[in-house]
Structures are given as structure tokens and as C-alpha cells.
Chains A and B, each alone.
Chain A
């Protein structure tokens, strides 16, 4: 994928569809960049493609790419970072592919950069040759001869050809990138050895040569190499280890950015002072980039050209590099300090100004006296804020962005995540399933344990009751995941208990009902898990035991029978415990992840929102996952508040 701009500041984005080039969009608002492939002047577009050993220049009429007047272009910004692989908006159609010219410089030519100035095309190659040719390619034959020659070095003599129209020059080193600084009319050439030179491209004359090689004199800086940077073999222009960076020039701040795609690094240098600004790792490999006209936005293209997963991102100028741990800690610290400050201010503001000064002194004196107390509380609050409050709030905020692993630019896409969730039929079905589970879980968490606790409490022999309680403690000693597996395999499995019993009953040796993996039985089976749902009977039992004797004596005198007693006395008096179990099982049911994930993985109609959230998290779609989490959080919050409001009736 290539960007380029012409002299009128129109941006061309071109995609290699595998069969040729397609122009995809044009926008007048983006300032140039480009390097290894596409140039434009007033009338023509030149596309330089080097694939393997071949280098080809195609020249197209610009008008052939447009349908007439330029309509209002769709800015890249709107669709940037959608993460879709082929989401390029085609503003214009390619009407004809009238190639005015096609030059095939087939040979071991690896063009690392090109530029156009005053009607001449300059190609910079990895071995350190600069080819200058006019845009009419008037001396193509000679050029091809030189190129096809494959000689290691070329001596320049002005007799051989018209030096004004075409030129070949050897430089002292190989190149790995070129960018053109329009306002200075200078080319910044980045050599294989890591040096950046400034040069006037038009000034390729024999007079600047030393022993037949052109020397760059105006050295700007030296980029020091880290592992994975830069080319390794200077003489082998075709070496796969040659890393050609994308070079972006930010003319407003005189900053040059070098993006190294395969090592995902970016190197920034101030061209006026020659000082290195940053040298850091990116979260993604950038293929090429361009600045917006006002220099505020940087448009990045990540991914490989032939790779189907190309994304455009649009970032604020400064967010290109990752934030460090230090910054994260500083943010936490400042948030905490800010909160403390706000609290202090509120405290002071609520106090009469006459007493204010005294109060402040008292506070500070107290802090001095109880240093450790404040220190411990502050540290604990810092941890709480950093690991609990900040992630929760940040997740809610994230749910309104398009944050994914491939596109960490965090742009607002407003409610797009939520719309995606609520318009997807599969997701809506998962919410329905969650509600089914919820209702079933709550009923099963209250009714069977209540009945069991009741029967346990009326049993005559207390010793038997105690034995039962102890025995019932045993199954809960198994880890919960193991219990789910035992149910999955040992009870619902094809050789499991239920199937074995069914086989015995129906005398059919081949019968095998798939309880967990069929649309009909999956959901009921998952609800059935945990039979006989003894659950939190102990809470009810303990509460029943706590009912004061006077109630029962009064009921006895009234002639109450056992059932009446149960419904009229027991249940109302343990309402608090019932509510407690209600709330806890509500929360647990909504957040119950392992039950579905480990058995069916969400298939066969058992998908639930938290399961979908997990898959989004694994797929690095953090924005979408946050939206799921926020929806569940709001749901739980409403339920909890509603429940707290209902608990106004106190047990006397």
C-alpha cells in the first residue's frame, strides 16, 4: 500500500491488488510522504514497484484515475483503524489503465526510495546507485544498458549520454531510504551504514565525485543501530536482511521519523539540531506514513503490502510511541494526589474561614503524629486505585473506542461497539441465554436448599442430621473446575452415569444421548448441573435454628400444623438470608464463566455474554470486550441497587 502526494497536495493511496495497481482514494488534505514507490507530478503518477529482482516504473496519467471534478474526499480519518482488512473506500474508479510508459529495469535492482523534482525522477538503490532519468524516459535504452550491465561500479563520463536527461551515479554507500523535504528542496538520504545525509537531488554532477563515486557532504546525523535495525550486508542489494525504513518528514517541527517495519521500531530525530528525539518500540509495524496538512495527525499504514491484513491508523502526532511503565505509575500517583487534594479542598471549603487556618494546622499536625497510619492508608489506596478503580473506569471509557491489539490508537467510535453488540443476532441470543440461566440459577439456589434445610431441621434424630451435614461437606472439597469436568465426563458423557442408566433401562446397548452437545439438551443439561442443588442450605438451616422458641410455642398453642408453620413463620423470618442468597446467586450467575466455557464453549445455544467477552479479549478486541463488561456491570449495578432498596423491611 502506497501513499503519495502531488504538487497540489492531493494524496493518492494505491493498493497492489496482485494484478496491478488500483488507485483507491484521493484526499487533498494530507501532506506527502512516500518513499519506495509512488510519485506524482502535475500530470502523471509514477509507480515504482520492485518485486524480487525486477524493478518496474509505470507512468499513468492522473486524469485517468479520476472521474471528473474531485468530489469531497472521504478523509482517511473517518475509517482509519476500523481493523477491517479491505475497508478502503474507493472514491474514484479506475477508468482506464492507459499506461503511458512502462519501463522495466529488470535486474538486481532494489529501489529503496525515489523522488521527483523538476521533471526528473531519481531512483536510489540499495547498492548505492542513484539513477536520474527524465520523466519522458528519453534515454531509456542507455539506462537499461547500464542497469542490465550488472557491473559493480560505473564510471561516469559525460560523453556517453546526455547528462541533463539521465544519469547514473555511484555513491560511497548503499542506501536504505530517501525522503524529500519539499520546502527545503532537499533530499534526506539514509544510507545503509546508518547515516543521514542532506543533499540537493538535482546536484548530481561529476564535480561531486571522488574517485568516480559521488560523495554526500552534508551529514545530518548518525543513526545508531540496534539489533534488528538496518541492513546488514552493504553490497548485496537484494539481501532479505535489508530493512528499508519508511521515512516521514514532519515539516512543522523539522522532525524526521524512521519507521522500521519488521522490528516495529520508530526512530525520531530533529533535523535542525540533529538530536535524537526518541528511539522506541511500536505496537505495530508501520509500512508507510503521511502527515495531515496541518501537521497534527499522522496517518500510518501498518502491515505488509501483500498481506491481506493491512490497516490504516490515524494517530495524534505524539502518540506514535508506547507509554512507559514510568508514565503509568506517574499517572496513578497524580490521580491519587489529585484525589487527596480535592478531598482536602472540600474539607477546607466546608469550614468557616475563621477556623480554616487552625484546621489546616491541625490536619498537618495529625499527619506528622501519625505518619505511618497515613502512609499505610495512602499506599493501600494507591494500590486500590491503580488495580481496581483505574481498570474499571478505563474499561468503561475504552468501550467507547475502537481499541484492539492491531490498532491501539484508541479513537472514539462512540456507540459503535454497543450497536455492534445489540444488532448482532448471536449476541442477543446470548443475552437471552444468560437470563434463562439467571432465572434458573436463582430458583435452584433458593427453593431446593430451603426445602432441604426444612426437612433437615424437623428430623427427629439430631445425630443423623449432623452426620448428613458432615457428609454433605465432602463434595464441596473438590475444586469447582474438577466438579464441572466430573459432570461433563462422568455424568453427561457418552460413558457417563446418565447414559449408562439409560442404556440399562432401555436395554439398548448402543444408546448414547449427547447431553452437552445437542441443541435440545445442552442448555437443560447445564442448568441440571449441580443436582440435587443442595447449595447454601446451611445458611437457611442456621437461620431456621435461630428462630426464637417463643414463635413456635405460640404457633403450637394456636393449633398450627407443620406446613402452615413453615410458610407463615419460618420463611418470613429468614427473609434476610433468602435475600442474601438471592443477591449472591444473581451476581454469581451473571459472572459464571467456567460452566459454559469448559463444557460447550458456547456452542449449541449455550453462549453467554461473558463467554463472548472472553473470546473478544483473546482476540485482542479490547474495546468490544469492555463494552460487554460494561453492559454486565450496569446490569449487576441496577440489580444490586434495586435489591438494596427492597431491603427496607428489617427483621425485628
Chain B
């Protein structure tokens, strides 16, 4: 059933018509050079990060471009060890917060999408418009009310609920919109025959809807995870101390990481990327898509 879902995507490798004028050698040269240059410049920061994480702090401060030599390699362990000791707890916090947020967002939105697609009830479209309208409102607007509400009225300052509640409440709108589009494309004949066979809603949801839409739900999971993992503004407002997530901590360490402990800093950034690497690799392996892989980073 994944076929019907991915047919909207671009499959890499599809035959594309070529113009004879395209094959002009000068043009091809320019194209390759341009792409190569863009690639080099895009990868340079990453390259610098990797090699500098392997160098000692002093070596990094001395010259950013030198490759780590055997002698300098000995400091790699220090860099990563130091970085790990600073970063492990906030990273675990981040991963936990993001996982819970992504999981429940996926769950809630898929249940809602099932209801809005397969069920008819009074006021269905009326309620649906409520979800769409909120997509127009930027999240910063509510912040000056949400912060006192969370911190003082609900006494949720420094609690992860203060992150999950607004994220889930707001996230359900976008995810619902996304899921509803996909669920609507599923063949209703299968559903009808299931209902004729006497399956109730819960069974239909678990045995039909979920398997049909696993790719898009996974995609939503990963993108919500990434979005929450990267969140800085709200987390730094609402959390403190041991409960801090990764981004505010990286910001707090920026003073040191930018001056005396640059090698450690680079190592920390690489470590911080690990959960994202895992989720990105996972998403790439599941889908070969054009629009959405780019859409993840927007």
C-alpha cells in the first residue's frame, strides 16, 4: 500500500528528457563546477567541525585549518570526553522531550485524521476550519500570555508539561491537515468491506489505517522530533537547572566553547547531532522522496 502514497513523490532516477543544447561541453563544465563549488562550500563548515573536534583546544585556537596529526589526536579523547560530560544530560532531556512530543503528536493527529476522514458528524467541517485557522497564527503571538499562564497560573515553570501541552495542542493542527490529505487518498472500498465484516473503529484504525499510512506518520514523527529537538526560545524561557534541554545548554556554554575550549565545543556539536543523524538516516531509508526530504528542513 505504500505505493499509492509515494506516487506523489519524485522517484529519483526517473527518466528525464534531455535537450541537445544541454550537452554543450561548456555548459556541462559550468554546471559541474558550480555544483562542485556549492558542495565544497556547503560541506566546509562540517569538515571544519569534524577535524577540529579531533584537535586539542590549543591547536584549534592556533589554526583552524590544520589537520589533526598523530600527536594532536591524543586530545580527541579529551574533547569528546569533556563534551560528553557537559552534554549528556541535556541531550537525554532533549531526546526524551522530543520523543514524547513527536509520539503523542503522531498519535493524536492520526486519530483525529481518522475521525475527520472516515466519520461523519455534525459540525465536522466547521471544527476542521478551526484547526486550519490556527495555522495562520505564528507561535510567538501567544507567547506573552502563554508564559505567565504556564509559569504562574499552572505553576508549571521548569516542568516538561509546559513544553508538551502547547506543542501538542498546536501541532495537532498541522499534522491533522497533513494526515487528512493522505488518509483521504486511501481506497474507501477496503474500509467499507471491513465495516461490513463487523470491525469496529479501533480495529479498523489499527489494522487498516496505520499500516496504510506508516510512511507519512513516520515522516511526521521525525519532523516533529527534529523541530522540538532544535527548539531554543520556549525551552530557554521555561526550563532551568537539570531539566534544561540541549539547545539552551549549548547556548549557555557558548562563552567557553567560543574561546578557550573550541575543540570541546566542536565535539559537543557533533555529539548533539547524533539523534538527528539517527532519525534522518531512518527517514531516508524509508522513503526516496524529493519534496519531503527538503521539506524537513524548512
Residues of chain A at the chain B interface (Cβ within 8 Å): 283, 322-323, 325, 328, 343, 347, 363, 366-367, 370, 372-374, 376-377, 380-381, 383-384, 386-392, 394-396, 398, 451-452, 455-460, 462, 464-466, 468-469, 471-483, 485-491, 493, 495-497, 500, 531-532, 534, 536-539, 541-542, 545-546, 549, 552-553, 555-556, 560-562, 565, 584, 587-588, 590-591, 593-594, 598, 610, 613-614, 617-618, 622, 625-626, 629-630, 632-633, 636-637, 640
Contact = CB atoms under 8 A, between A and B. Distances in A.
B169 A386 contact: yes
Given A384-B169, A562-B21, A584-B298, A531 B41 contact: yes
B285 interface: no
Given A391-B145, A394-B145, A481-B232, 15 more contacts: A325-B155, A370-B121, A383-B172, A388-B142, A395-B144, A455-B31, A466-B12, A473-B284, A474-B43, A487-B45, A546-B10, A562-B21, A629-B144, A632-B141, A633-B137
Interface stretch (B183-191, B213-221, B251-259): B251-259
Contacts of B290: 538-539, 541-542, 545
Contact of A555 (B19, B27, B277): B19
Q: Which of A363, A459, A534, A538 has the most CB of B within 10 A?
A: A538
B177 interface: no
Contacts of A384: 130-131, 134, 169-170, 172-173
Interface in B270-295: 270, 272-273, 276-277, 280, 284, 290-291, 293-295
A598 B65 contact: no
Given A387-B170, A485-B258, A545-B10, A538 B230 contact: no
A626 B121 contact: no
Interface string B78-110: 000000000000000000000000000000100
Given A343-B126, A456-B35, A629-B140, A622 B258 contact: no
A471 B43 CA distance: 8
Nearest to B233: A593
Nearest to A455: B31
Contacts of B138: 587, 590-591, 629, 632-633, 636
Contact of A455 (B35, B48, B63): B35
A482 B270 CA distance: 9
Contacts, number: 306
B64 A490 contact: yes
Nearest to A327: B153
A383 B21 CA distance: 58
A461 to B, nearest CB: 9
A398 B298 CA distance: 31
Secondary structure class of chain B's binding surface, majority of residues: helix
A452 B34 CA distance: 7
B212 interface: no
A381 B106 CA distance: 17
A266 B27 CA distance: 80
Interface string B111-127: 11001000101110011
Interface in B146-168: 146-149, 152-155, 165-166, 168
Interface residues of B, number: 109
B141 A633 contact: yes
Contacts of A482: 250, 269, 272-273
Contacts of B269: 478-479, 482, 485-486
Given A388-B134, A489-B257, A594 B232 contact: yes
A532 to B, nearest CB: 5
A125 B294 CA distance: 75
Contacts of A391: 141-143, 145-146, 149, 166
Contact of A381 (B20, B130, B143): B130
27 contacts: A322-B152, A347-B122, A384-B130, A388-B142, A388-B169, A388-B170, A452-B34, A452-B35, A455-B34, A456-B35, A459-B28, A466-B12, A474-B43, A475-B46, A478-B272, A481-B250, A485-B269, A489-B265, A490-B49, A491-B45, A495-B262, A497-B48, A497-B65, A500-B64, A542-B294, A552-B19, A637-B136
Q: Which of A323, A363, A373, A483 has the most CB of B within 10 A?
A: A373
A465 B31 CA distance: 11
A73 to B, nearest CB: 34
A381 B61 contact: no
Nearest to A452: B38
A477 B294 contact: no
A330 to B, nearest CB: 12
Contacts of A476: 280, 296-297
Nearest to B61: A495
Contacts of B16: 457, 545, 549
Given A477-B277, A481-B251, A485-B269, A395 B143 contact: yes
A347 B123 contact: yes
Given A388-B134, A391-B146, A497 B291 contact: no
Q: Which of B32, B48, B138, B284 has the most CB of A within 10 A?
A: B138
Interface in B23-39: 23-24, 27-28, 30-32, 34-35, 37-39
A497 B27 CA distance: 31
B165 A387 contact: yes
Contacts of B148: 622
B244 interface: no
A475 B250 contact: no
A587 B48 CA distance: 31
Contact of A373 (B45, B121, B137, B170): B121
Given A534-B42, A546-B10, A479 B276 contact: yes
A366 B233 contact: no
Given A380-B108, A598-B251, A497 B230 contact: no
